Structures are given as C-alpha cells and as structure tokens.
Amino acid sequence: MDAALHLLEHQSFSSLGMREVTREAGMSPAGFYRHFRDLADLGVALVEEALASLHEMVRAAFKEQGEPEELIDHAVRVIADHVREHRAHVRFVARERFGGVAPVREAIAAELERFTEEVAQALAAQPVSAGWGAADVRMVAELYVDHMVLTAAALQQADAETERQITATARRQLRLISVGRRHWVSG
Amino acid sequence: MDAALHLLEHQSFSSLGMREVTREAGMSPAGFYRHFRDLADLGVALVEEALASLHEMVRAAFKEQGEPEELIDHAVRVIADHVREHRAHVRFVARERFGGVAPVREAIAAELERFTEEVAQALAAQPVSAGWGAADVRMVAELYVDHMVLTAAALQQADAETERQITATARRQLRLISVGRRHWVSG
DNA sequence: AATTTCAGCAAACAGTTGTTTACTCAATGG
DNA sequence: CCATTGAGTAAACAACTGTTTGCTGAAATT
C-alpha cells in the first residue's frame, strides 16, 4: 500500500498497474494476489487508511470550544497540519473523489457521508443552531465538509507562499459562513 | 476528441491510451499524430473545449437581474441544465481538476482562475459589495466558483431523484452565503 | 515433532502499448 | 494543370501488461 501511495504522487489510480506496484514494493508480480484480489481492492483499502486519519482530525477540530474567531483559526490550522503530515493520503482522496474507478469513488463517498453526518450532529448541538430544521443543519454540514476537502486538496499541491494565501482565504470564507449562520432564518 | 470524451466516461485521463482513442475514433494508431503531439496535448484541447461552454454559462447566470432569491433559483437551474447538456465535459473537468496529468490540471486551474476573476468583477459591481476590500470580494468569488464546480460534479453522476436533493441543497447553501454577504463587515 | 498456513518466487501466456517509417490519395491553390 | 499539403493507411519494433501455475521456505499451530 505504501508503494502504491508513493506511485500515486504522479498519476491517478485508474492508470496504476499491478506490476508497477509490485516492482515499487520490491516483490514479484504474483505476490500481489496474496494481499489483494484486485487493484480496486487495494484502492478501497487505501481509502479506509486515508480517511481514518482524517476522521480523527475532524473530531479534534470540533472538540475545541471558544469564540467563533478562535475556532476558525484553530480549524484551519488543524487542516494545514494534517495536510503536511498526510500529503499523499490527502492527494489520493482529492484525486479519486471523482476519479475513474467506481469502487474507490463509492468508498470515498460513503466515508465522506459518515463525516457529514457526524459534523451535522456536532452542529445541531451548538447554540447557534437552536430552532433549525434538520435539512438546514445538514446543508451547513455538507458545506463545511466540502469546504474542508477542497481546502485540503488545494493545500496539498501548494508551496509555502501559496499555502498562506489559501489558509487566509479559507479563514475568511469560514467567517462568511459563520456570519450567515448567525443571521439565518430557518423555515 | 469526441472519441476520447466518450472513453472518459468510465476511466480517468491518465489511464487513457492513444491506441484506445484511435480505435474508438475508427482510425489507425499513426493517424493520431496528425492532430496531436501527445495525449497530454489532447487533454489540454479538451479542457479548452469543456470550459468554453461553461464560460458562456457563467456569463449567462450573472447577466440576470432581480431579487436574490430569484437569482439563486435561476443560477441553480442554469447549472443543472448545463450539466444535462454537457455531462461528459463536466465529468471531465471534475475528474481531472485534481487528476494525475499535470498539463491538464494546470490548464483547468488557469481557466477556473479566469472564471474567478470574472465573477469577482461582477460581484464588485453589485450594491451589496459597496465598501468591500478587494480580498473579500475575491474570497466570495472563489467560494462561488468552487461551489458551482462541486455542484456540477455532484449533479453529473446523479439520477433524477438525487438531482432534486442536490439542487435543493445548493439553493439553501447559496442563500446562506447570500445572508453572510449582507451582514458582512469588511476590513 | 509434525503439519498446516503464509508470503514469497520464477517462468510462461497471449495481448496490448507508444512510436516510427514509408506509403497512398484526395483536396486545395497558384 | 501541376505541385503541395492534409489526413489517412499498414507493418513492424521492443517493451510492458494481468494472470496462472507449480514451487519454496519459514513461521505458526497442533
């Protein structure tokens, strides 16, 4: 799996060959079948690995409490740190979310759906969501998750200077959403 | 190019072979080189074709005038129509925006950057943006463009029922952003 | 101590890949 | 009307592809 992840730095999953993977891993082609039935099988395993770490991150970002402004700064910092430490995983998820291999795409969608549900529950517990309908809470949760994934995807291919621009913009955008939530009239 | 676009329904660009393309197009392998130096070359050409039509769409969506609520309904309808009529193009852009082929990725990024700039100018001209700093306007433009691309990407792989959910959520999200803009304090 | 499972290997299979070369033939243009 | 160009072809090249088969040796289990 590490070998595959390393190769995926420069190509997308649907162009990955198993001979290529085994060569990178330093084993013979036949050895592959001892671990995975398929290349798609490997892909799904990678999805789980990649989104497990991201799952911890999401939970950590929502555990914090304080002023909205501080929460936003903290969340963006957590995302940037995560990308630096798991660049290959982030790139993989960003690239294959709409990629060419159906099982991988579906595994990512299912995992992100779980995230969204978790975020929705966290949002519903916040005072600002008092009186909100479920559909409205859900809609904000999707906005947050999509924004997080997109920000991570952008960061993953950014140099130091671009990273500062992206995080600055992300903070502003989260503030805008926050303002929108405070003045929202649910119905 | 039509042949390639058709093949890209089930795979991503970096796994496309030129023999595959020429076979689908009904010509001999060598014929490919009469039109493109490279497969990457074909990819860049596809980007331009795909985003040209999208460009018209963006301009059409911003030409309209009226109440914010009506504007949002109109914009979402325009996007949904566009996806129905250019499904292959939309899928291509969504898939390759973070895909494995650098020249294609960069061409998409450059084209989306032009969109964002155009949207930013349109936003700056709206009354609600009076007194806003350039960075804040720009930030909203990026939010809109990203939201549009992501919505289109989601619609492109949705059935009729899912399409209704996606458009309903997208409208809500645009309303939230709209509320945020009205109550924003720029500085 | 004997046996079973695990993770690896080399070799072989028929197909497919990108690219080059030398060629045709119709359309275009002065 | 002749020359040039554009867009196509077939054939050949070595290199690479996914998968199967039968084999090995170590580790784990009984």
Contact A129, A137 (CB under 8 A): yes
**Predicted pLDDT of residue A186:** 78
**Residue A97: its chain B contacts at CB < 8 A?**
98
Distance CA B152, CA B30 (A): 36
Distance CA A120, CA A137 (A): 6
Nucleotide nearest to A33 (CA to C1'): D19
φ/ψ of residue B8, rounded to 5: -70, 0
Higher pLDDT, A147 or A57: A147
pLDDT-wise least confident of A65-69, A110-114, A180-184: A65-69
Interchain pair B95, A98: CB under 8 A:
yes
Residues B130-159, mean pLDDT to the nearest whole number: 97
Q: Which amino acid is at B182?
A: R
Which two tokens mark B109?
């990024």
SS3 B110: helix
B12: nearest CB among A99, A146, A157: A99
Tens of pLDDT, residues B17-43 = 999 999 999 999 999 999 999 999 999
- Percent of chain B residues past pLDDT 70, beyond the cut: 99
Distance CA A51, CA B90 (A): 26
Predicted confidence (pLDDT) at residue B187 exceeds the cutoff of 80: no
CATH number of B48-182: 1.10.357.10
Interface test with A, best of B6, B138, B179, B186 (most A CBs within 10 A): B179
Taking CA–CA distances from B90, the nearest residue in chain A reads A98
C-beta atoms surrounding B172 within 10 Å: 19
Contact B89, B53 (CB under 8 A): yes
Interface test with B, best of A10, A179, A183 (most B CBs within 10 A): A179
φ/ψ of residue B44, rounded to 5: -65, -40
Distance CA A11, CA B92 (A): 16
Q: What is the DSSP string of A14-54?
A: GG--HHHHHHHHTS-GGGGGGT-SSHHHHHHHHHHHHHHHH
Query: Across chain A, what does the average pLDDT equal?
Result: 96
The alpha carbon dihedral of B112, B114, B117, B118 has a sign of negative
Higher pLDDT, A84 or B65: A84
Residues B62-82, mean pLDDT to the nearest whole number: 93
Closest CA to A148 of A85, A65, A97, A80: A80
For residue A95, give how far its alpha carbon lies from the nearest alpha carbon of chain B (Å): 5
Which residue carries 């969608």 as its tokens? A109
**Residue B150: its chain A contacts at CB < 8 A?**
146, 150
Q: Which amino acid is at A100?
A: G
Contact A116, A141 (CB under 8 A): yes
Distance CA A119, CA A88 (A): 24
Contact A71, A33 (CB under 8 A): no
Closest CA to B117 of B99, B86, B140: B140
Residues B75-104, mean pLDDT to the nearest whole number: 97
Q: A with B: how many residue pairs have Cβ under 8 Å apart?
A: 99
**A111 vs A47, A167, B119, B122, B142, CA distance in Å?**
8, 25, 33, 37, 26
φ/ψ of residue B66, rounded to 5: 150, -165
Closest CA to A153 of B135, A162, A161: A162
**Predicted pLDDT of residue A187:** 67
**Any idea where the domains of chain B sit in the sequence?**
48-182
Contacts (Cβ under 8 Å, ≥6 apart) of A169: B138, B139, B142
Distance CA B43, CA B4 (A): 9
Closest CA to A140 of A107, A101, A105, A186: A186
The alpha carbon dihedral of B70, B71, B72, B75 has a sign of positive
DSSP character at residue B129: G
Tens of pLDDT, residues A14-35 = 999 999 999 999 999 999 999 9
Predicted confidence (pLDDT) at residue B165 exceeds the cutoff of 70: yes
**Residue A95: its chain B contacts at CB < 8 A?**
98-100
Arch. (CATH architecture) of A38-182: Orthogonal Bundle (1.10)
**Predicted pLDDT of residue A63:** 85
- Percent of chain B residues past pLDDT 90, beyond the cut: 91
